[in-house]
């Protein structure tokens, strides 16, 4: 007798073989093959819904990143200049703001180097939101017996958060390095002296010329830690 060529029957046999011959812990992780058109449509809807949820996470994180940079960059700039300036250059955070605006104007004075975090932090937040959701899905796949309605434990949430930090660091570290370089380079310039770096792309170009990708990504391990 010739073997059946009915796709539904073949799919049913494969699903049955998986459940029969594999350990339960392994079989539960093997994707179910749709046996009917209705099942195939349902699986397609679930895939589209999952993709839309990931896109929403990316969009929400990206918008949050833009807002964080616009609001937080002047504070970060003041902090970096206070940390890196020679003793006696600034007397307080207000003094940093006053002298920065007097020297470079309002926009450049408070937002020096903003292009690097704006380009870097926006995708960083987007990837962080996406990776965190993905991390939670991975954690739940490790504990299939845990109901989906049950919140993750503190340890499980921490594991998902750790996973999100890995791709986030790959984006964050080089942009953080570029941002700090641009923030501090004007502090030691003499009147009329041109800065060494013209912008973020020039920083990348010079760092790469000096030490390759290793120079661009210097400090990544510390950022991940």
In this predicted model, what pLDDT tens digit does every residue of 143-192 receive, in sequence order?
Answer: 878 887 888 899 999 988 888 888 777 777 788 788 888 877 777 777 77
Q: What are the b/e assignments for 21-52, b being 16+ CB within 10 Å? A: eeeeeeeeeeeebbbeeeeeeeeeeeeeeeee
Nearest in space to 79 (alpha carbons), one of 100, 65, 93, 94: 93
pTM assigned to the model: 0.48
| Distance from the first to the final alpha carbon of the chain | 64
Sign of CA dihedral 210, 211, 213, 218: negative
The vertex-158 CA angle with 153 and 159, nearest 5°, equals 100
**CB-CB contact of 65 with 126 (8 Å):** yes
Residues 223 and 216: their CA atoms lie apart, in Å, by 13
Nearest in space to 65 (alpha carbons), one of 212, 199, 178, 172: 172
pLDDT digits (tens, 9 = 90+) for 36-95: 767 667 766 766 666 677 777 778 878 888 888 899 999 988 988 888 888 888 889 999
CB atoms within 10 A of CB 57: 19
């Amino acid at each position: 007798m010739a073997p059946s060529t009915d796709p539904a029957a073949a799919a049913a046999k494969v699903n049955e073989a998986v459940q029969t011959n594999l350990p339960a812990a392994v079989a539960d992780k093997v994707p179910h093959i749709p046996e009917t058109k209705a099942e195939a449509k349902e699986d397609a809807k679930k895939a589209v819904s999952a993709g839309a949820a990931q896109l929403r996470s990316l969009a929400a994180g990206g918008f949050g990143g833009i807002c964080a940079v616009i609001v937080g960059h002047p504070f970060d700039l003041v902090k970096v200049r206070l940390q890196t300036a020679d003793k006696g250059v600034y007397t307080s955070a207000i003094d940093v703001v006053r002298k920065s605006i007097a020297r470079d104007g309002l926009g450049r004075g408070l937002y020096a180097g903003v292009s690097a975090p704006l380009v870097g932090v926006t995708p960083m937040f987007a990837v962080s939101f996406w990776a965190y959701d993905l991390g939670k899905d991975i954690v739940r796949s490790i504990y299939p017996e845990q109901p989906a309605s049950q919140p993750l434990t503190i340890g499980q949430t921490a594991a998902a958060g750790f996973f999100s930090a890995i791709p986030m660091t790959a984006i964050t570290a080089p942009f953080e390095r570029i941002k700090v370089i641009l923030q501090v380079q004007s502090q030691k310039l003499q009147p009329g002296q041109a800065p060494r770096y013209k912008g973020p792309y020039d920083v990348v170009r010079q760092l790469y010329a000096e030490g390759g990708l290793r120079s661009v990504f210097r400090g990544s391990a510390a950022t991940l830690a």
